[in-house]
Amino acid sequence: MTYSSKITIADLLDAVDKINKFVKFGERVGRIIGQLASCGIDISKINPYDINSLIAMAVRLRSQGYNVTDVDIEELREEFREILEMDLDEINKANRTIRRFISTYKSASSTLSVVNRTVGAGLEQMQALAQLFGLKMPKEEVEEEEEIEELEEEELEELKEAIKAFRKKR
Amino acid sequence: MKDKRQQVAILERKRGQLYQALRENLARFAKMGIKAEVFIPQGKDNTAFLLIDENTIARYFQRRIARYLRQIDRNITIKGKLESDVLVLSVTASITPKREELDKVSNKIKEELGKDGIRTEVFYDVKDYTRINTLMDFNDIVSYFDKKVRETIEKSRYKVEVATYRESNVLAIRFRK
C-alpha cells in the first residue's frame, strides 16, 4: 500500500484494517502484561534473551498457581505475524490516511449542507454530489406505491347503510 | 404555465419565506410517500399552492391501514373509493382471520388514526371475517394535512398563512405571504 498524496477508498479500508489488527494485538499484549503484573512480574525487567530471567519469571508464575504454557507465545506470534513484521511507521501512515479521510469527509459534508441551503439542490443532485466524495446520502423514505383498485358499485352498495350511519355520527 | 423548475427558481428569488415553507412541506410530503405538485398562479407574487390528488391521499391511508392488516395476512387485496366525504377502504384477506386478531388490529387502526384526529370506523361481517371495511372521515383528513403543514410553518416561524381545502378531487394547500 502506498500513502501518496492521493488517497483512495481502498487505501482507507486498508488503513482501517491495519489499525484494527494493531489495536487487537495491543489489547492482547496489554492483557498478558496485566496478568503478569497481577502475579508480581514487571515485564519491563524481564530480559527475553536471558534464560535466568525467564526461569525466574516461570518460577514466580508457578508459585502463584499459573502454568507458563497458558500463554502460548507461538500461537500469538502466528496470529499476529503480520503485525509483528510490520514497521510501526506503517501504523503511523495508516493513522494519517484515516485522519485525512475524516478531514475530507467533514469538509465534504459541510459543503453539501451549504450547497443545500444556498442553491436548494434536490435530493438527486445532492446524491450525485455526495457520490463525487464517495459518501452516501440517506434515501428519501418513499414507500412502495400500491395501486388502489376502485370499489365496484355493487360492493359499494353493500356499504351504503354503513356510510350513511357513519355520516350521521358526525 | 412555466416549467416547474423555473417556477420554483422564481419563488426562491422573490419570495423568501414563502418558498422555504413550500419547500419544507414538499419534502415532508415526499417523506410520507405523497407526491405534491407545486402551482404558482401567474402574476401573484405572494401566493403558491401545493396540490395533492385525492387518490394519492387514499393510497397513503391505504398503506397505513395495510401495514396493520398484513400482520394478520400478508396476502390481502385492498379496494377503495372516496364516496363524497367518506374514504372507504375494503380489504379482502386470503385466509379467515381469528375474530380476536381482527378486533386487536381494528382497535390499533382506530387508535392510530384517532391520534391524528381522523374519525375512523372498522367493521366486518361476523359471518365472513375475510372482508374488513374501513370508513374514514375525509374532512378530518383535510384537517390532518392542514395541521401537519401548520406545524412545519410554526416550527420554522415563517410568516406565511395557510389554508387547506378540497377542489375538484384535489387537496389544495395555499401558502400566502
3 state SS for chain A: CCCCCCCCHHHHHHHHHHHHHHHHHHHHHHHHHHHHHHCCCCHHHCCCCCHHHHHHHHHHHHHCCCCHHHCCHHHHHHHCHHHHCCCHHHHHHHHHHHHHHHHHHHHHHHHHHHHHHHHCCCHHHHHHHHHHCCCCCCCCCCCCCCCCEECCHHHHHHHHHHHHHHHHCC
Q: Is the predicted pLDDT of residue A104 greater than 60, yes or no?
A: yes
pLDDT at position B135: 93
Domains of chain B: 4-54+141-176 (3.90.1070), 55-139 (3.30.565.10)
| Domain-located, residue A16 | yes
pLDDT at position A66: 66
| Residue B164 three-state SS | strand
A122: closest chain B residue by CA: B27
B30/A155 touch (CB, cutoff 8 Å), yes or no: no
Task: Specify the pTM.
Answer: 0.55
Which helix (H) or strand (E) segment holds residue B141: the answer is: helix B138-156
pLDDT tens, residue by residue, A56-95:
777 777 777 766 555 666 666 777 777 777 778 888 888 8
Q: Is the predicted pLDDT of residue A142 greater than 70, yes or no?
A: no
Q: Compare B91 and B7 and report the one with higher pLDDT.
A: B91
Over range B165-170, report the average pLDDT: 88
Asked if the C-beta of B31 comes within 8 angstroms of chain A's C-beta atoms, the answer is yes
| Domain-located, residue A79 | yes
Q: Which of residues 56-115 of B touch A (CB under 8 A)?
A: 58-59, 62-63, 66, 77-81, 83, 85-86, 88, 90
Contact list in B for residue A145 (CB cut-off 8 A) is 33, 59
Q: Compare A138 and B3 and report the one with higher pLDDT.
A: B3
CA distance B8 to A1: 49
Task: Please tell me the distance in Å from A169's CA to the nearest CA on chain B.
Answer: 10
pLDDT at position A137: 60
pLDDT at position B120: 93
pLDDT at position B138: 92
A149/B77 touch (CB, cutoff 8 Å), yes or no: yes
Q: Which of residues 138-177 of B touch A (CB under 8 A)?
A: none
Q: Is the predicted pLDDT of residue B172 greater than 90, yes or no?
A: yes
Q: Is the predicted pLDDT of residue B1 greater than 60, yes or no?
A: no
Question: With pLDDT > 70 as the criterion, what percentage of chain B qualifies?
Answer: 90
B88/A142 touch (CB, cutoff 8 Å), yes or no: no
pLDDT at position A2: 44
Task: Please tell me the distance in Å from B81's CA to the nearest CA on chain A.
Answer: 6
pLDDT at position A1: 43
B87: closest chain A residue by CA: A163
| Domain-located, residue A154 | no
Q: Is the predicted pLDDT of residue B130 greater than 60, yes or no?
A: yes
Q: Is the predicted pLDDT of residue B146 greater than 90, yes or no?
A: yes
Domain count, chain A: 1
User: Quick one: A99 exposed, middle or buried, by C-beta within 10 A (0-12, 13-18, 19+)?
Assistant: exposed
Over range B135-151, report the average pLDDT: 92
pLDDT at position B65: 87
Strand order in the sheet with B86-92: A149-150, B77-83, B86-92, B128-137, B120-125
pLDDT at position A159: 85
What residue numbers bound the domain in which A86 lies?
A: 9-132
Contact list in B for residue A150 (CB cut-off 8 A) is 79-81
Contact list in B for residue A144 (CB cut-off 8 A) is 63
Task: Please tell me the distance in Å from A133's CA to the nearest CA on chain B.
Answer: 24
Distance of CA A123 to the CA centre of its chain: 27
| Domain-located, residue A128 | yes
| Domain-located, residue A163 | no
| Domain-located, residue A24 | yes
Least confident of A29-38, B66-75, B149-158: A29-38
| Domain-located, residue A68 | yes
| Domain-located, residue A168 | no
Cβ distance B91 to B66 under 8 Å? yes
Task: Show the cell assigned to B55.
Answer: 387518490
**pLDDT-derived band at B174, boundaries 50, 70, 90:** very high
Per DSSP, the residues of B56-113 read HHHHHHHHHHHHHHTTT-SS-EEEEEEETTEEEEEEE-SS---HHHHHHHHHHHHHHH
pLDDT at position B113: 93
Q: Is the predicted pLDDT of residue B116 greater than 80, yes or no?
A: yes
pLDDT at position A129: 67
Over range A41-62, report the average pLDDT: 73
**Closest by CA position to A158, among listed B92, B74, B56:** B92
Task: Show the cell assigned to A89.
Answer: 511507521
**pLDDT-derived band at B159, boundaries 50, 70, 90:** confident
pLDDT tens, residue by residue, A111-127:
777 766 666 666 666 67
What is the 3-state composition of chain B as percent helix, strand, coil, each rounded to the nearest 5? 45, 30, 25
DSSP character for B34?
-
Mean of the per-residue pLDDT values of chain B: 85
Sign of CA dihedral B102, B106, B109, B115: negative
